[in-house]
Amino acid sequence: MENLTESKNFIENIIDEDLENGRFDHVQTRFPPEPNGYLHIGHAKSILLNYGLAKKYGGSFNMRFDDTNPTKEKEEFVESILEDIKWLGADWEDRLFFASDYFSQMYEAAVSLIKKGLAYVCDLNADEIREYRGTLTEPGKNSPYRDRSVEENLKLFQEMKEGKYKDGEKVLRAKIDMSSPNINMRDPIIYRVAHISHHRTKDEWCIYPMYDFAHPIEDAIEGITHSICTLEFEDHRPLYDWVVEHTEFASKPRQIEFAKLYLTNVVTGKRYIKQLVENKIVDGWDDPRLVSIAALRRRGFTPESIKMFVELCGVSKSNSSVDYAMLEYCIREDLKGKSPRVMAVLDPIKLIIDNYPEDKEEYFEVVNNPENEEMGTRKVCFGRELYIEREDFMEEPPKKYFRLFPGNEVRLMNAYFVKCESFEKDENGNVTVVHCTYDPETRSGSGFTGRKVKGTIHWVNAKKCVNATVNLYENIVDEEKGKLNEDGTLNLNPNSLQITPNCKIEESINTASLSDRYQFVRNGYFCLDPKESELSDGKFVFNRIVSLKSSFKLPK
């Protein structure tokens, strides 16, 4: 037999090398979001990558909030992020941490840098610091405060901590190299004054560490071995390593960058989502038209479909965009073998079988999922008055229209052949009732072979059906015109949400729970909306997860 070798991504190759050469003897990863918004599909890749690496190498996975910027952070975001990560199945066990847990250690690390002559208090304002920094082609120039004595810097930094200075009046900067070709190394700010209450530490601190200083310290304190982050931090890696080296923590984590996950024509930027929420274009960060993890969960996506999607996207060093259709492909693949099928009529018109007895009803045994026999069968009630889709009847049909029209015969799915005899209209000319006759010899499963029909349509019993509202979604941005207008605003699709309040569903849906997913025959996959449904009051509101049709094909 031919020897098969496991295909590994470049991060796994690096980890293998680190374990083989003794740089590390174990693997410890983390997911470190800032609690300043809801997580989106791109974060799911990072969560599953970090957790998956820890699991693969028998290591540990930490959950840590990078809560160093209280101006944008909220407890609401902390709770939503934890719920998302639990839902995706990434288990941090008892290792839930916050950067704010380490504020004292970060402060002491900054003091140690001052004592070593590697940090100084600077009085330049933000514009002046930017001017002194230089450009990509020109070196920066030293701050006039760069050569303050250690004693003066210690005194000023202590006074910053004590609240003696206004926001922006002083900052603490690392003393590295103002002529470095990497602008991130030109004496970066590592602490700033911010008189604002923190969602956890309240008013204990009025100075806060910058991300580039705090993050490597957090990793070092927790014993993280591999700090996996996205490509925009590649140019920050020298600063990460500088902080790790000079703060002298025992652990020496290694930063590795990978490409972000970009989806075509979707809104992931927190600034844009915040605008949509505040302008009430969407009903929150979890609006099913968004691709936040909370929105995908509410819409009906499963953790398994997100994992499949992330695996198909792979891990690389090159940025690229993925078609949203791939995400839809993954949820279809996940649901097709485990979702029961039910008949639901989204835009109903009544169908009356004139020669069927008024007081008669009968039950048909119907397969729940033709692709999964283990899901068994259910009984569906048939009667004289039914509902069918409006689009399944036409007064004057075009060629190759095989559904109901005057004189034509179709099969009612799992039931009988019916022939259209007449129809009724309202005062506006809309068809309201279709009259048919049925042939009792054509009962489904009877083995009838007398004649064939070309069309089959679904139906629900008018007297036994369940009323529901159905939300149909399209992309929130106009895919044809592109995501952004010339002025930088979002180019919104006015038809991104279509609410159909008069849907009729077969009575088996009465047992639906919030965890269930269904295939509505011919209409797509659906689930109950957890925010709008009130099952105790019989109020059913379904979200369409995805339609049945797809133009996406998995690359060979």
Question: Per mean pLDDT, which range of 130-139, 299-308, 317-326, 344-353 is the poorest?
Answer: 317-326
**Distance separating alpha carbons of residues 95 and 97, to the nearest angstrom:** 6
Dist CA 432 CA 276 (whole Å) = 39
For 506-524, what is each residue's pLDDT tens digit? Answer: 999 999 999 999 999 999 9
Average pLDDT across the chain, whole number: 94
- At which residue do the structure tokens 């980890």 appear? 15
Alpha-carbon torsion, ordered 238, 241, 243, 248, to 10 deg: -160
Is residue 518 within 8 A of residue 509, CB to CB? The reply is yes
Stretch 444-468: mean pLDDT: 93
Residue 438 has pLDDT above 90, yes or no: yes
380 has pLDDT over 90: yes
Q: Residue 20: pLDDT band by 50, 70, 90 thresholds? A: very high
Q: Render pLDDT for 261-270 as a digit per residue (tens, 0 to 9).
A: 888 878 888 8
Q: Which residues make beta-bridge pairs with 320? A: 261
Average of pLDDT values for 438-455? Answer: 91
């580039």: which residue's tokens?
212
pLDDT in tens, 177-220: 999 999 999 999 999 999 999 999 999 999 999 999 999 999 99
pLDDT for position 3: 44
19 has a pLDDT exceeding 90: yes
Residue 4 has pLDDT above 50, yes or no: no
Token output for 510: 């009465």
Domains and CATH numbers, the chain: 10-98+210-263 (3.40.50.620), 103-207 (3.90.800.10), 265-341+467-556 (2.40.240.10), 344-458 (2.40.240.10)
The residue behind tokens 């008892």 is 94
- Residue found under tokens 């302008």: 279
Report pLDDT for 210.
98
Number of H helices, E strands in the chain: 12, 27
